[in-house]
A and B are shown apart, each in its own frame.
Chain A
Amino acid sequence: MALHAEKTRDDTQMDELKLVTKEKLTQKSFKSNILDFMIEKAFFIFGMMAIFILFLLLFFLVREGSGAIREVGLMEFLTGTRWYPSSPQGAGYGALPFIISSFMVTTGALLIAIPWGIFTAIYIAEIAPKRIREVLKPVVEVLAIFPSVVLGFIALVILSPIIANTFNLSNGLTAFTASVILSVMVLPTVISISEDSIKSVPKDYREAAYALGASKWETIKMIVVPAAKSGIVAGIMLGFGRAVGETMTVLMAAGNAIDMPLREFFGVVIPDFFTSVRTLTANIAIEGSDVAWGSLHYSALFVTALILFAITFVVNLIADLLISRQRRKLQND
C-alpha cells in the first residue's frame, strides 16, 4: 500500500505529460469530432433511404389509385371479370382475370422450377465435385441476369410453335408457354437461396448422421434437407415473388387475351393452361404506355399495381420470416 501511495518524481512527471497530451488531443479532435458527428448523420440519411423509398412507393400507388378505388370500388377490381377501360358505354374495371392469370402462370412456373431448383441445389451443395461446382455456379449466375426480354423472345419464336404443334393448338401463346419460360427465370432464385440454406446446416449434423451409419443420401434426405427446410421454402417464396412480378417474358409468351382463363371440365370450373392469358404485369405494360395521365383508366392501372405490390409484399415478408427463423434455429442448436 505504502508503495502505491507514494508517487515518485517520474510518476508525477508522467501524469503531467498525460494531462497535457490529453488536452492537446481534445482540442485537436473537437473539430474533427463535430465533423465526424455530421458525417455519421449524413450516412444515417442514406441508410434511411430504403425506408423512405418504400413509403414513397406505397404513397404514390395509393394516391394515384385512390380515384379509381373511389369511383369503381376495390371489390369491383378484385372480383369483377370485365376489363374494358375504354368502352364508352359500361366501362369495366374487373381485374380478376388478370389476378387469376398471374397466379396460374406463377404456379405453373413453380411446379417446374421447384423440383428442378431443389435437386440442382442439393447437387451443388452436397454432391458435386469441386470442378463441376465451379462450372455450375457461374451458369446459375448468368441465368440470373439473363435479360427477360430475350427469354420472352425465345418463348415467342421457338417455344410457342413447338407447344402449338405438340398440343394441337391454333395459337402457341398460352399460360403454359409462359409457365415454361418463367420457370427458367425463377430457377436461379430457387437454386441460390436453397443452396445457401443447405450450406448453412452445420457439419456436426452430417457427422452425427454418418456416425449412426447413415449413407450420404440418407443424411441428405433425413437430416440436411429437413434442417434447411425453412430456407428452401423461403427460396420458393422468393421465386414466387419474382415470377408474379415478371413482365417481359409473360407479356411476350402468354398471348395477352383479357378473358377469364377458365373452362368447364365435367361440370367443374378449372383453370385452362392452354389458353391465352394476360397477367397483372403484362396489362400494365400494354396499357400504361399510352394511357392519358390522370384519367380514370390511368388511376385503375395504379390499383392493379397496388394489388401486385400487396402480393409481393406479403410473399417477401413470409420469405423474410422463414429465413430469419432458420438462422435462429441453427444458431440455437
Chain B
Amino acid sequence: MTKQMTEKIWFTICGLFAAMTIGALLLLLYWIVSNGAHVLSWTFITDTPRKNMTEGGIWPAIVGTFYVASLTILISVPVGIGAAIYLNEYAKQGPVVQIIRMSIRNLAGVPSIVYGLFGLAIFASMLKLGTGLITAAITLAIMVLPWVITSTEEALKAVPTSFREGGLALGATKWQTIRQLVLPSAIPGMATGSILGLARAAGETAPIILTGAAYFLPVLPASIQDNFMALPYHLYILATQHAQSSVVRPIAYGTALVLILMVVLLNLSAILLRNHFRKKNELL
C-alpha cells in the first residue's frame, strides 16, 4: 500500500468519527423533535399540569426552572467575577494562586449529586433553610462557580494589557483602572459566560432532586423557600416515577423538547454574542 493510500484511509477514518459526532447530535435532536413537536402548543407551554400530570401543560416547570437558574446566576456571577478579578488582576504567581487554581479545577470535577448532598447538609439541614428554591439555587451556584470563574477569567485575559498600562500611566489607581477600563471591555465575554452558566444550571437535575424540586406542584413558588417544579426534574418524574408512564410519554417528549430548545437557544445566543464581540475586538 502506498503512503498516499494509507493516509487517505486514516483521514477517512478520522472524518467518519467526526461525522459520527455530528450524527449523534442530529439523531438526538431528531428523536426529541419528531416525537415532541406535535405536543408543543401555546396551551402546553402556558397551562398547569392537570389530572395527575396526564393532561395540561408545563408552565410551573418552566417558571421554576427560570427562577432557580436566575437565582443561581445572581449568586454565582458576582462571586465568580470577584474571584476572577483577583486571579487575573491582583494575584502574583506563586503557591497560593496555584492552590486556588487546583481547587477550582477540583471543584469542577466534583459530581453534581455530591453537591446536592452537600447542599442538603449545610443549607437545608444545618442553616435550617429547608429544601426549596434558595437551597437549590445556592447549591447550583456553588456547582457552577468554577465554571463561572474560568469563563470570566478568559474574558479578562482578552482585554489587552495596554488598557491597563494606559490607565496606570494616566495616574489612575489600580482599582480605577480595573473598574473603568478593564471591566467595561470584559463585559461581553462575562455575559457570554453567564449565559452559558444559566444554560448549565437550567439543565441540571441531580442536585435539585435532593434540594427542593417538587414532584407535582401546580402553583408557582411564592417565596424563595418554597419548593418548585423544574423542567429536567419533571421529565425525570414523567419518564420513570409516574404510574402511567406510557400515557404521559407524549408530555415527557414535549418537556424534553422545551428543555432542549431552552438550553440550545441560550447556548447559541452565547456563541453569537461571543463571535460578534470577537469581530468587533479584532477591528480595534
What is the CB-to-nearest-CB distance from A285 to chain B, in angstroms, rounded to a whole number?
A: 5
What is the CB-to-nearest-CB distance from A98 to chain B, in angstroms, rounded to a whole number?
A: 12
Q: Is the CB of B121 within 8 A of A143?
A: no
**CB neighbours of A238 from chain B (8 A):** 109
Given A153-B252, A248-B236, A289-B209, A50 contacting B260 (CB threshold 8 A): no
Contacting residues of chain A (228-286) with chain B, CB-CB under 8 angstroms: 238, 241-242, 244-248, 251-252, 281, 284-285
**CB neighbours of B16 from chain A (8 A):** 119
What is the CB-to-nearest-CB distance from A208 to chain B, in angstroms, rounded to a whole number?
A: 18
Q: Is the CB of B271 within 8 A of A138?
A: yes
A210 within 8 A of B: no
Bound-state Cα–Cα, A42 to B24, Å: 46
Given A50-B83, A187-B21, A157 contacting B145 (CB threshold 8 A): no
Q: Is the CB of A142 within 8 A of B203?
A: no
B175 within 8 A of A: yes
B166 within 8 A of A: no
Number of A residues whose C-beta is below 8 Å from B? 93
Among B10, B109, B205, the most chain A Cβ lie within 10 Å of the Cβ of B109
What 0/1 pattern do residues 128 to 142 of A give for CB contact below 8 A with B?
A: 100010011011111
Stretch at the interface among B25-33, B38-46, B182-190, B217-225: B25-33
A149 within 8 A of B: yes
- Which residue of B is nearest A56, CB measured? B122
Contacting residue for A119 out of B14, B111, B113, CB 8 A: B14
Contacting residues of chain A (32-51) with chain B, CB-CB under 8 angstroms: 32-33, 35-36, 39-40, 42-51
Q: Is the CB of A150 within 8 A of B259?
A: yes
**CB neighbours of B209 from chain A (8 A):** 285, 288-289
Contacting residue for B105 out of A47, A115, A215, A320, CB 8 A: A320
What 0/1 pattern do residues 283 to 318 of A give for CB contact below 8 A with B?
A: 011001100011000000110010011001101110
Q: Is the CB of B3 within 8 A of A215?
A: yes
What is the CB-to-nearest-CB distance from B260 to chain A, in angstroms, rounded to a whole number?
A: 6
B interface secondary structure, majority: helix
What is the CB-to-nearest-CB distance from B152 to chain A, in angstroms, rounded to a whole number?
A: 11
Q: Is the CB of B239 within 8 A of A35?
A: no
Given A46-B83, A308-B111, A147 contacting B203 (CB threshold 8 A): yes
Q: Is the CB of A154 within 8 A of B31?
A: yes
Contacting residues of chain B (1-25) with chain A, CB-CB under 8 angstroms: 3-4, 6-7, 10-11, 13-18, 20-22, 24-25
Q: Is the CB of A157 within 8 A of B82?
A: no
**CB neighbours of A135 from chain B (8 A):** 22
**CB neighbours of A218 from chain B (8 A):** 3, 7
Bound-state Cα–Cα, A320 to B98, Å: 11
A interface secondary structure, majority: helix
Among A56, A158, A288, the most chain B Cβ lie within 10 Å of the Cβ of A288
B49 within 8 A of A: no
Contacting residue for B14 out of A39, A57, A123, CB 8 A: A123
Q: Is the CB of B86 within 8 A of A43?
A: yes
B74 within 8 A of A: no
Q: Is the CB of A116 within 8 A of B20?
A: yes
**CB neighbours of B100 from chain A (8 A):** 47-48, 50-51
**CB neighbours of A35 from chain B (8 A):** 173, 175
**CB neighbours of A146 from chain B (8 A):** 25, 28, 203, 260, 263
Interface of B toward A, CB cutoff 8 Å: 3-4, 6-7, 10-11, 13-18, 20-22, 24-25, 28, 31-32, 79, 82-83, 85-87, 89-91, 99-100, 102-118, 120-122, 125, 142, 145-146, 149, 171, 173-176, 196, 199-200, 202-206, 209-210, 232-233, 235-236, 239-240, 249, 252, 256, 259-260, 263-264, 267-268, 271
25 inter-chain pairs at a CB distance below 8 angstroms, sorted by A residue, are: A35-B175, A39-B175, A44-B90, A46-B85, A47-B91, A50-B103, A64-B121, A138-B271, A141-B267, A145-B263, A147-B202, A147-B203, A149-B235, A150-B203, A150-B256, A150-B259, A153-B239, A157-B252, A215-B4, A245-B111, A248-B232, A251-B236, A294-B125, A308-B114, A309-B114
Interface of A toward B, CB cutoff 8 Å: 25, 29, 32-33, 35-36, 39-40, 42-51, 53-54, 56-57, 60-61, 63-64, 115-116, 119-120, 122-124, 127-128, 132, 135-136, 138-143, 145-154, 156-158, 184, 187, 191, 215-218, 221, 238, 241-242, 244-248, 251-252, 281, 284-285, 288-289, 293-294, 301-302, 305, 308-309, 312-313, 315-317, 320
